[in-house]
Structure 1
Amino acid sequence: MEGGCCRLDVDMGMVIRLGLFGLLALGAMAVEGSAPAPPPLPVMPLPSYRQLRFQRQEQVMFFHFGVNTFAGNEQGDGTDDPSIFNPEGLDARQWVREAKNAGFKVVILTAKHADGFCLWPSAYTNYSVKSSPWKDGKGDVVREVSDAAREEGIEFGLYMSPWDRHEPVYGDTLRYNEYYLGQLRELLTMYGPISQFFVDGNKDPAAVDMRYLFDSWFDTIHQLQPNANIFSDDGPDVRWVGNEAGVAGTTSWSMMNRSLVTIGGPFEDYLNVGDPYGQDWVPPECDVSIRPGWFWHENQQPKTVDSLVDIYFKSIGRNCVMLLNAPPNQTGLLQETDVAMLREFRSTIDHIFSKDMASKSQVSASSTRGGEASPFRTEQVLNDDLEEYWAPEEGVTAAYLTLDLGSNKTFNVIKLQEAVHLGQRVRGYHVDVMQDGEWEVVTMGTTIGYKKLDRFKQVQSQLVRIYIDDARASPLIASVGLYLDTRSGLGCDMNVTNCVS
């Protein structure tokens, strides 16, 4: 039979024996049998498109810059004279170029910190760059950074402090929220696409009656910049991780219940871990500065490369996005020492992940949804497409993958990734390697999420087995990788998960 959607080769004797209706039934069975198994049902809640894009960006850079840079403050009181702001050598392209070279996909600028000084010529206040000697009052830092980001092909984000210690109407809920929304509209309509808008809960403790109308702010941001992720303590799109050390919890869920958190409240532990029963998808972002302070100070030194790599493993490697602050100096450039650390950090990360020992493995599993010819076969864990994944049989929540590396390979890092577009599922796993004919545990953990990176004592083995011990529903593993960190002095014990460098 030809000319239709398929062909079924039979002889005339079969036609006579089966009759026309029998032959049509056989053809229907053949077509039905060739259909692949459908994907498993998603487990709610699910990430939005912009949240998936956010997690896949992995690295975001913060630029804290303003009058604090020149006054030597971490948080100004709004009385510093704008005349001190004069970064004569400002080169936003240098900032963005070094961020891009270090692997960062987004840059966020502090358009206004709590001191109230605006890095753009706002129509609502004179406490801004237009009252400074920089470029004779005609400069616009927000413009320069947004243009540089666009030219370098990376995304641009903004921070605008809710607390404004200069603005006289602060403390009057109605008037200040109108003022804030007016400046918000300027930033969201004058500088092109915004990837992330960062809002914290910073507030004058003496202004007990002052309320921030966050819902109005957030709706305005999404109205004017529909692709922007909003960061605050509790989202709605991205949540604070609960500390400023850049460290996510060893258990790290992308879910939480936003109704349990008040912005600016004491919820650090809840934000750090997330909630396996959470109804809202709000992935964490780990904020940390390369220096002891958030703004540049002359006598401060940047973190070491080993410290930055450790933060990488404890943020990106724990289902989080790494938000690293690199503050420009009074000249208007990233400091040479900071640039050197960023470059060495990138080189070290590239070296660690340059060779995947698992890339040519033969992979088998305890079971596979639809069999090994299905779209969910085990080999999917070896490619970089996170929309493709291995899935066990329907209803199975405990399963394992076995990797045969072909020969003994040496490694001390494992990467695991879930297909989180269908929900975060895994809540317990461990990894074994074959040593002298016996399986030996090298690492164990709870959550995986978008990405989990575990470090352990260096081992040599041909066989690796990844056990999913418990999951909210059938585990969907999108990627597995094995790597060797050759730096000396790692000092990791065999059974320590995400051990400290």
Structure 2
Amino acid sequence: MKKTTYLLAALLSCNMAVGQQISPYGALPSKAQVAWNDLEYYMFIHLGPNTFTNKEWGHGDEDPRVFNPSRLDARQWARTAKLAGMKGIVITAKHHDGFCLWPSKYSKHTVRESAWKNGKGDVLAELSAACKAYGLQFGVYLSPWDRNHPEYGTPTYNQVFANTLKEVLTSYGPVFEQWFDGANDGTKKQQYDWPLFHSVVHKHQPNAVIFSDVGPGCRWVGNEKGFAGTTNWSTLNVKGFSPGAGGPPAQSLNEGNEDGEQWIPAECDVSIRPGWFYSPETDNKVKSVTELLDIYYASVGRNGNLILNVPVDREGLIHPNDSTRLMELRRVLDASFKDNLVRKAVITATGTRKNNAAVKTTFLQDGNPATYWATAENVQQGTITLTFPKPVTFNRVVLQEAIALGQRVKAFSVEILENGAFKEVARETTIGHKRILRLPDYTTTVVRIQLLDAKASPVISEVQLFQAPEQVERPQIRRDKAGALSLSGAADTELRYTLDGSEPQYHSARFTAPVAFAQGGTVKAKAFLPQGKAASETATAYFDVAPAKWRIVPAPGINEAEAAKAIDGDPATVWVTKDIKTTEKHPHELIVDLGGELLLRGFSYTPPAGSDAGGVVYGYACYISQDGKSWGDPVANGQFANIRNNPVMQTVLFKAVSARFIKFVAVNPANEQENWTSVAELGVITHDRPAER
């Protein structure tokens, strides 16, 4: 990416006298990248045949007529995004299955062949118009992987994809972001022509920021949890890397590279539900406000942008559970950042640059990211002091650098005056576009921001302090192997719960000791402050039959005590097969005696929560038996799509059948370099799972 100093004229236009002008440092953002960073928070929408087939990665062989969102309303999506405080929408115009949400002339797998609007509809046209009506930016995701197109895997496909890309980029108005990933067919490889694809974007949408593992506009953050590193540089080394499997190491994606070759800031992608596409089974698994706040502070608050996926349901609407949660989050964020206490302070600073009218301490509190304060040239430390006429209480600190001049700060601390001496309350590393610190409540009359180290003279655009309202922590719901249900929460709260699916109230049953819940069902719980003065969000958990009577069936090489971790009701314990010697590449399997005959409707596989264990299963087969000897054909087999990037519990349904034994076979791993298996929990599905509406 060409380095540019496009904002210098604007930033230095404040009647700057001839004097200590600020020299740009390192790789610099383009005008489009600065504008992109200012968006901070926008919506991702996954919609397609997968919405109707309960798949994350469709195979491209689905009947296009399955796509029929009968009440599709793109204005509802845009209105929801606007009310949530989001600044734009990126939609999956074409996912890996190849299905196009517009009537592409380069494909026969599109809305034209669908049942929706008798083939006369165009989702992209409706959404781009809705975004324009609500003042939102419009962006598109097009996957180069196409599991439907007959030319995929041939030398001519890259031009087909380039033509498809041009079709979208020239038909629906301005595009603020072009989203690519490097996913590729595991058996029919296609060498993607990234220079060709990028040239199409640059020609037809020159202001679009291109997303991929290596940008060039913005980068994947290395996980699908929405968390950037606590150290996060907007610069990245890209030589020798490519999107997808050839991408930089996860740590580089998460933290960037200090003095990286190009300005490629982090975008944090995460779904409001466990999966990316809508599924009725996840209606009661929408992330809580507490979880979304954690994500917000770990993305926008760590020098990244947050793209939050809100999947459209089968009617073509954002589900009420999702929109309600978005509005709840908006209310908390508005309340948290309502009153900038720094506006009441007198600001002083050390080492201020002389003879430059564009550099003023007052600019630190004007709310304008294009104005700034800076130290003198080659002065890489400084202190910003906020003095208040009377004590203020705060628990949030917001800092911003003037990134048009480069990212500079390597380390900083926050101090308060307490009992006549300064006390350090936080010490962190990078700032970048925005850094937000969540702290306990502190009351003081003086706050100091110590700029401890920098790559070049620090250039700070904003310093802000806020007092965010207290949040009552949502309780945690657990159940052990025997089926005993327990709740946990903050020490000063009372936990109330229901077992019939109703909403907990202060008069609901109070949790004081574990409750027998072996047959399973829906549990809802809330934490209340004393006398019910305030309550947390509702925590919801669904349990099937408890594994109280289950046992591991002995098999060669299987350590039964270790394997039992897969059926102990505790996802924190993991069965790992690294030490099992076998003759085949991926033979690992687990046989479980359920202790009695059950009517099985499916099974669940929970991978390890972290990445340390490895061995996440991608390809699977599931068998059932009455006697543990005769197995027959698998009742289910396939792949857990996208599980490597999104390692959450997977559920697989099959035709109901009675059995006493179940066998889970790990056919192949999500990471081809790992020839072992990890299972945090293996469960069965015996109930018709509820879907809230």
1:364 paired to 2:345: no
Alpha-carbon offset, residue 155 of structure 1: 0.9
1:181 to 162, 175, 190: 162
Counterparts of residues 138-157 of structure 1 (less than 5 Å): 138-157=120-139
Corresponding residue for residue 325 of structure 1: 309
Corresponding residue for residue 498 of structure 1: none
1:198 paired to 2:179: yes
2:251 is paired with a residue of what secondary structure? helix
- Contact in 2 for aligned 1:256/1:279 (Cα 8 Å): yes
Alpha-carbon offset, residue 489 of structure 1: 5.1
- Contact in 2 for aligned 1:36/1:374 (Cα 8 Å): no
State, as a whole percentage, how many aligned pairs show the same letter. Answer: 43
1:376 to 359, 363, 369: 359
Divergent runs of 4+, >4 A: 489-492
1:197 is paired with a residue of what secondary structure? strand
The Cα offsets for residues 255-276 of structure 1, whole Å up to 9 and x where unpaired, read as 0111143211352111110111
Corresponding residue for residue 259 of structure 1: 239
Could you tell me which amino acid in structure 1 is paired with residue 223 of structure 2?
N
Corresponding residue for residue 162 of structure 1: 144
2:260 to 274, 278, 300: 278
Alpha-carbon offset, residue 137 of structure 1: 0.6
2:173 is paired with a residue of what secondary structure? coil
Q: Answer 1 or 2: which has greater helix percent.
A: 1
1:51 to 23, 33, 54: 33
1:339 paired to 2:323: yes
Could you tell me which amino acid in structure 2 is paired with residue 183 of structure 1?
T
Corresponding residue for residue 336 of structure 2: 352
- Contact in 1 for aligned 2:278/2:313 (Cα 8 Å): yes
- Contact in 2 for aligned 1:54/1:229 (Cα 8 Å): yes
2:414 is paired with a residue of what secondary structure? strand
- Contact in 2 for aligned 1:116/1:167 (Cα 8 Å): yes
1-structure distance, mates of 2:217, 2:173: 20
Corresponding residue for residue 16 of structure 1: none
- Contact in 2 for aligned 1:442/1:457 (Cα 8 Å): no
2-structure distance, mates of 1:144, 1:374: 48
Q: Which runs of 5+ in 2 are unaligned?
A: 1-15, 474-488, 491-693
1-structure distance, mates of 2:23, 2:105: 51
Q: Answer 1 or 2: which has greater strand percent.
A: 2
2:230 to 250, 254, 259: 250
- Contact in 2 for aligned 1:286/1:323 (Cα 8 Å): yes
| RMSD across aligned positions (CA) | 1.6
Q: Which runs of 5+ in 1 are unaligned?
A: 1-33, 493-501
1:389 paired to 2:372: yes
The Cα offsets for residues 234-274 of structure 1, whole Å up to 9 and x where unpaired, read as 10111111110000000000001111432113521111101
2-structure distance, mates of 1:132, 1:279: 45
- Contact in 1 for aligned 2:41/2:87 (Cα 8 Å): yes
Corresponding residue for residue 114 of structure 2: 132
Alpha-carbon offset, residue 358 of structure 1: 1.0
Alpha-carbon offset, residue 282 of structure 1: 0.5
Alpha-carbon offset, residue 207 of structure 1: 2.5
Alpha-carbon offset, residue 196 of structure 1: 0.5
TM-score for both structures, normalised by structure 2: 0.65
Corresponding residue for residue 310 of structure 1: 294
TM-score for both structures, normalised by structure 1: 0.89
1-structure distance, mates of 2:175, 2:350: 45
Could you tell me which amino acid in structure 2 is paired with residue 320 of structure 1?
G
The Cα offsets for residues 43-70 of structure 1, whole Å up to 9 and x where unpaired, read as 0211000000000000121100000001
- Contact in 2 for aligned 1:36/1:370 (Cα 8 Å): no
Corresponding residue for residue 106 of structure 1: 88
- Contact in 2 for aligned 1:413/1:485 (Cα 8 Å): yes
2-structure distance, mates of 1:449, 1:315: 12
The Cα offsets for residues 358-411 of structure 1, whole Å up to 9 and x where unpaired, read as 11210111121117x843121110011222111122221011110002211011
- Contact in 2 for aligned 1:64/1:294 (Cα 8 Å): yes
2-structure distance, mates of 1:376, 1:62: 38
- Contact in 1 for aligned 2:90/2:138 (Cα 8 Å): yes
1:213 to 182, 193, 201: 193
1:285 is paired with a residue of what secondary structure? strand
Corresponding residue for residue 11 of structure 1: none
- Contact in 1 for aligned 2:28/2:406 (Cα 8 Å): yes
Could you tell me which amino acid in structure 2 is paired with residue 138 of structure 1?
K
Corresponding residue for residue 224 of structure 1: 204
- Contact in 1 for aligned 2:52/2:66 (Cα 8 Å): yes
1-structure distance, mates of 2:111, 2:199: 28
1:338 is paired with a residue of what secondary structure? helix
- Contact in 1 for aligned 2:146/2:152 (Cα 8 Å): yes
